[in-house]
A and B are shown apart, each in its own frame.
Chain A
C-alpha cells in the first residue's frame, strides 16, 4: 500500500541516519561526556545509566536493555532511552520491535509524573506518565540508580512528591496551584521543549554493538537519501506491538487528556512559531498530508496561535497497533477454516482483517461472515443450503412489489413515491464506475430492485437517500442479487437508524462524537463550542454513509471491512472522525474557521484523506480513550444493534 510505504519512509530515514551514525562513530572519540558532538547543539548530558531494561513480555528472553539519559538543552530537560543493538541473543525480537520501544527524547514539559517502584525483591523500576495520559513501559534499572535519577531531575526541573503516593513524583501538576505558578515562571522551558521535540528524535534502528546512537536530528537530506538507497526492509509482523499496547494500557495511570485551562492559555501564548503543525510537518509519518486542499485563495487567512493538542500524534504513534498489513489472501484465508469450512477462530480472523482488510476476490466470501449473513461456525454445506433458502425468501418479498399492477399502483401513492425516489437515485449512484455505467446497465436495475425489495422488507423505514451508497459496494462485491440484499439487510440492522425520519440515529452518533472530541481534544471541543459548531453537522456525510464519499471506491471497501470486524470498538467510525479532525485541528483553529468555512473545508477533504494513517490514529485514539471513550457512546448508538426494536419508528415517506 502506498501509505504503508510512506509510513516506512520514516523507518528508512532512521535507518539511513543510523547507518550514517555507524560510519561516523568510528571517528568519534568514545568520551560520552563530550556532549557537543553527540548531543544536539547546546545540549548537555546530565545523567547516563546503562543496563536500563524494558520487559515487553514475561519472557526473560524478550527483554530489551539500553541506555537511559537525561539531556539538558537550554532550559529544558529531555529523557532518552536507546536500546543496544544485538545485546539480547534471542531471535524473537527484531530490530523493529526494539525500535518500537525506543524513547526518542521526551521533554519533561510534557511529562506529568514519574512513578518509582522499589520492590524488596527484584529490580527497581520507573514509569513515566505523559500529560496526555500515556504511560511508557516500566524501565527497570538493572544496575540500580533510580534515586540518583530522580535527584538529577530535581536539580534541573521542579518536581514534587505526590501527597497521595510517596512514590509518585509530579512533574507538571497543574492542579497544584504552587506548581502552576512556578510553571508560569518557567516559560522559556516550554518553548524550548516544544521547539525541540522534532529535531531531537533520536534514531536507534541499527546502532553499533553496545554503542547507542545518541544524536539524531534526522535531517531532510538524510531522509531523501534513504529514498535513493532504496534499501527494502522486510515488513515483519510484530507480536510485541500488541504487548506494548497492553503494557501501555496497564500502566496508563492517568487518562486526563485535557489540561487545566490555565496551562492551555499559558501554552497558547507561547506557541507562536512552535505549533504542533511544525512538529508534525517534520514527522515523515505525515508527509502524505502535504497535498491537502489549498485554502480558499481570497480568504487570506490570518493564522492565529492555537491551543496545542493534548494528545499529539507523535505520542499517538506510541500506541499505534500493528502496522497496516497487506490484505488477507486466499492461502491465509484457508488457514482460518477447518476441513468443513468453519471459521475456527473468528476473533483472530476479525483481528487479522482489522489490520489489513481482505483481498478483493475474497470479499464476497468474507463479507458474508463479517456482516453476519453467515455464521462463522457454519460449514460450507450449511451455507450453501442457507443461500438457497434465503434466495427463495428474497424472491418472495420481491414478488410482493412486482405483483403490483399499474392499476393498483394508481391507488398506492406510497409505493409510487417510493419507487419514484429509488428510480431517481439509482441512476445517480456510482455511475462513473464501470460496474454501474452506461444506459440500461443491469446492475443499476439490480440496485433498484434490491432497494425496492428492502423497502417492503422494512416497510416502516422504507427508502432514504444514502441507502444506495451503502448498497452499491455490496452489490459490486457479491455480484448476486439475493446475497446483496441480505448483506444489505445486515448492514441496515445496524445503520438503519441513520435514516430514521427524525434522524435520531444520526443525532446520537454526532452527540457521541462531540463527547469523544471533548475527551480526546478538549481545546478543539472548546473551539467548536465557541464557534457554535457543536452540532457536528459538518461530519454528517461521514457518519451517514460511513465515509463512502470521502475515499475512492477500493478504500471505502477496505474501511468498511475494518469497521465490520468490530475489533476494539463497534464505533471505530467515530474515532476515525476524531482522528481526521485532529489531523486538521491546527488548521481549523488557526484559520479561525466558522461553521460555514468548516463545513466547506471538511467537504473538500474528500479524496485527500490517507486511509491507513487515519486508521492507525483512530486505533490509537480508541485505545487511549479506553473505557472513558466507550462511556461517551450511549448503548444502542448505531452501528450497535438497537437496544430495543422500538427505536425504529414507523415513519412517513420522504417524498419532498
Chain B
C-alpha cells in the first residue's frame, strides 16, 4: 500500500506503563493484558489518513527498564514523533518524565513532536497523578498532552493521530526538509503532496471514532 509519508514514532516511558498495550490497541484495536515484556524493541505499523493523504506510522516500542537506556537511546535517531507514556496510577512513573525528556532532547532531532500520555485513565479510582499535573508538565515542556487508556481504547487513536497531524503540519509549514531522513519522515511512493491549501492540516481518522 502506498503512502505519502512515513513517520517514525518511538514510544518511551517507564517499564509497565503500558507502552506495548498502547501500540497493540492502536495497530490491532485490541487489549491484551497478557503479553511478553519487551526486550530491546518491538515494531508496529499502521496506515492513517491526514488531510486525505495516506500516512504510514512505523512505531518503535521500546523496553522501559533503566538498564536498557543506552540501547534505547540508539533508537531515537530519525524519529519524527515520540509518545512519552506514564501511568496515572504510579506516581514514580510521572516523576521520571523529566529524565526521559532529557534523553529525548539529547538523542532525537530537535523538531521531534512529543506527545505526553497519561495511560490507564480507566483506573480513575487508583489515580496518583491528576490530569492537571499532566497538563502542567506538558505545558512547561512544550508537549502535547492526553490521558488515555489502552484497555478501553479511550484517546489511543487520537493520541497517535494528533501527533501525526502535528508532524504533518510542521511539514506543511516547511519546518522539515523531508528529503533528509534524519527527521524521521520518508516521502512515499504515493506522491509528494505539495503545500496544501488547508493550513490546519485537518486530521481525519481512518479508523472508527473513539470517545
Contacts and interface: CB of A to CB of B under 8 A. Distances in A.
B35 interface: yes
A600 B44 CA distance: 10
13 contacts: A298-B3, A424-B16, A437-B34, A464-B65, A465-B37, A499-B67, A535-B74, A540-B40, A540-B71, A596-B8, A596-B77, A603-B42, A655-B14
Contacts of B71: 503, 537, 540
Interface string A578-603: 00000000000000000110011001
Contacts of A468: 37
B74 A298 contact: no
Given A465-B67, A540-B71, A656 B96 contact: yes
B41 interface: yes
A612 to B, nearest CB: 24
Nearest to B2: A298
A465 B36 contact: no
Given A431-B34, A465-B15, A656-B14, 9 more contacts: A298-B1, A427-B34, A429-B36, A429-B37, A437-B34, A500-B67, A595-B77, A599-B75, A656-B64
B92 interface: yes
A656 B96 CA distance: 7
Interface string A536-578: 0100110011000100000000000000000000000000000
A600 B41 CA distance: 9
B40 A421 contact: no
A381 to B, nearest CB: 41
Contacts of A464: 65, 67
Which 5 A-B residue pairings sit nearest by Cβ, starting from the closest?
A656-B66, A428-B37, A654-B66, A541-B40, A424-B16
Contacts of B53: none
B68 A465 contact: yes
A366 to B, nearest CB: 27
Interface in A481-536: 499-501, 503, 535
Contacts, number: 89
B20 to A, nearest CB: 9
B65 A656 contact: yes
Contacts of B43: 600, 603-604
Interface in B32-80: 34-37, 39-43, 56, 63-71, 74-75, 77-78
A300 interface: yes
B179 interface: no
B92 A465 contact: no
Contacts of B37: 424-425, 428-429, 465, 468
Nearest to B16: A424
B196 interface: no
A298 B34 contact: no
Contacts of B56: 298
Contact of B39 (A537, A541, A654): A541
Contact of B189 (A300, A466, A595): A300
Nearest to A465: B65
B188 interface: yes
Given A298-B56, A535-B74, A655 B92 contact: yes
Contacts of A214: none
A625 B189 CA distance: 45
Interface in A286-324: 297-298, 300
A541 B64 CA distance: 14
A579 to B, nearest CB: 20
B99 interface: yes
A503 B56 CA distance: 34
A503 B16 CA distance: 21
A469 interface: yes
B103 to A, nearest CB: 10
Contacts of A656: 14-15, 64-66, 69, 96, 99-100
A545 to B, nearest CB: 6
Most buried by B among A427, A503, A599, A656: A656
A603 B69 CA distance: 18
Nearest to B70: A503
A421 to B, nearest CB: 7
A465 B74 CA distance: 19
A544 B39 contact: yes
A23 interface: no
B40 A544 contact: yes
B150 to A, nearest CB: 14
A432 interface: yes
Interface in B82-127: 92, 96, 99-100
Nearest to B35: A428
A430 interface: yes
B67 A654 contact: yes
Contacts of B188: 298
Contact of A421 (B8, B15, B99): B15
A503 B36 CA distance: 22
A540 B62 CA distance: 13
Nearest to B99: A656
